[in-house]
Amino acid sequence: MNILVFTLLLWLVSALTGFLGALTGLGGGVLLVPVLTLVFGVDLHYAIGATVVSVIATSSGAAAAYVKEGFTNIRIGMFLEIATTLGAVLGAFLLARVSTEVVGIVFGLMLLFSAYHSWQSEPNVAPLAKPDKFSALLKLNGSYPTPQGERTYQVYRVPAGFGLMAVAGALSGLLGIGSGAMKVLALDQAMRIPFKVSTTTSNFMIGVTAAATAGIYFKRGYIDPGLAMPVMLGVLLGSTLGAKALIKMNTKILRLVFSVVIAIMAIEMIVNALTGRI
């Protein structure tokens, strides 16, 4: 395979993963790293480095559309980024001190968790009996557009969501992914935010988390421009298209298909890590 064909295939695959990542709120990196390592034979560290750059592109492409449409809760995103950024820096420093086999196994487990989360139907976000004092203090409550008009919502369990975001940030820094599954879990399960708001706010946060670790990966030489450029351009295109599609489509079937794909990738990643092939 010559360099031109390799670059074109990278671009096409990255566009597809960016599209799926924007639709599901999981981030394209959750699928891109195993594709790069298992299909294209890229070293795990370089795959993670390229994915970090692409995750920033994913968030940039999707977040602009989501904010314009009024779905993203920017106050929640910026507040929770305090936790995810601190966790991401810690995870990035741990990467150089952990073997690729261990990272591969952790990544596979993260994929399985993402597959399980993606398989679930839209959670019940019925309001709890007692509002959270932190949400009122920080003015985190908001609204989003629906076909029936503007719908308001309250935010709950802010401390629990903050703690989960710190874990998500550590996974992002260690694995080079957006940890969208953990972010969405914190937003819609712990904090009881409506699903579309959770998904769009997760996409908004993913890029900020990745930006906090990109400098560390670059300093260590894990970002190869020849690899990162087609990946970034493909993901940027796919995430922009995915953001526009999410606003209009029902993603239930897509989430089910996506969960099956990443579950297969998870099993293959763990097997390759245990057998020393990554």
CB 244 within 8 A of CB 68: no
Note the pLDDT of residue 12: 93
Note the pLDDT of residue 125: 46
Two structure tokens written together for 116: 């399980």
Note the pLDDT of residue 11: 92
Cβ neighbors of 136 (< 8 A, separation 6 or more) are: none
Note the pLDDT of residue 278: 60
The beta strand positions in the chain, using DSSP E, are 142-146, 149-153
Two structure tokens written together for 69: 């449409």
Note the pLDDT of residue 113: 77
Block mean pLDDT (10 aa), the chain, length 278: 86 86 66 82 85 75 72 87 85 75 78 72 51 81 83 87 84 66 73 81 76 77 88 84 74 68 77 75
